[in-house]
Copies of this chain bind each other. A is one copy, B any other.
């Protein structure tokens, strides 16, 4: 396959389409002279004149008329394919479970958008385990490290651990029904993120409390709503120290047993993506930004306080 100089072909295509060198030069953002030279070079290369030069303007020769549609078509296809690629390259499709989304990602995301306006962020807030992460639908996701059933091409990167300890409204530490010892949990309502009650179960496995069962209490569709129920004094939620940091720092949520902390059995929160995708600029930028933000949370938590379990 022998090809003539491609840039000369592009110059010719533009000039032929506009039936003039000046319009072509404008389109290509060069001077008329450049177009003139390119086209002359192409004519020399092919050995056929492509334009008749009149004193005023140019007109295609027979040869030029034959060449134009082929080039326009070919360049059109190339433009279509490459634009589709860049188009898609600009879209960053993120999937994030509800609690992480509303409590961690969304508050920070505008900063990312501001820092990278060229990336169109499309966030889907939806529960998903690492096992059913769909690399075709999403460029990157948030999930738990130990989710089973991942294909070997799907890789994760750890962000921060999930530290669990009961949390409640400050009012619950006061009065005669105050939560003072773990046994007091038997007198209050447990607030669960999902029907499986796994967080409370995990904590109770680590710190068994007689008379307290994970089977009791209210169930919410996600951790955010359970936490908000706790804040308004409805019961005790199994709080995630990272995701609930704001409420804890503001004193809206208090930790009655701050030394009784365990990590989630599902492992730390992590980013998840296809092995190949990490290198894509949009993904790399987002991942780097997320890791930086997560680093701040890890630092703020003073993780060394806790024994990992």
Contacts and interface: CB of A to CB of B under 8 A. Distances in A.
Interface of A: 1-4, 6-7, 9-10, 44-49, 52, 61-63, 66-67, 70-71, 73-86, 88-90, 276, 279-282
A45 to B, nearest CB: 8
Contacts of A80: 70
A46 B75 CA distance: 16
Given A75-B74, A281-B47, A82 B61 contact: no
Contacts of A1: 75-76, 79
Given A48-B89, A74-B77, A77-B74, A82 B62 contact: no
Which of A46, A67, A276 has its CB near the most chain B CB atoms (within 10 A)? A46
A47 B4 contact: no
A10 to B, nearest CB: 6
21 contacts: A1-B75, A1-B76, A2-B79, A2-B83, A4-B78, A4-B82, A6-B6, A9-B78, A46-B82, A47-B86, A47-B90, A48-B89, A49-B279, A63-B85, A66-B81, A67-B82, A70-B77, A70-B78, A70-B81, A71-B81, A74-B75
A169 B2 CA distance: 58
A46 B77 CA distance: 15
A118 to B, nearest CB: 8
Which of A44, A74, A90 has its CB near the most chain B CB atoms (within 10 A)? A74
A78 B4 CA distance: 9
B48 A85 contact: yes
A85 B280 CA distance: 41
Given A2-B83, A44-B281, A74-B74, 15 more contacts: A2-B79, A3-B75, A3-B79, A6-B9, A47-B89, A47-B90, A48-B281, A49-B280, A63-B88, A63-B89, A66-B85, A67-B81, A70-B78, A70-B80, A73-B77
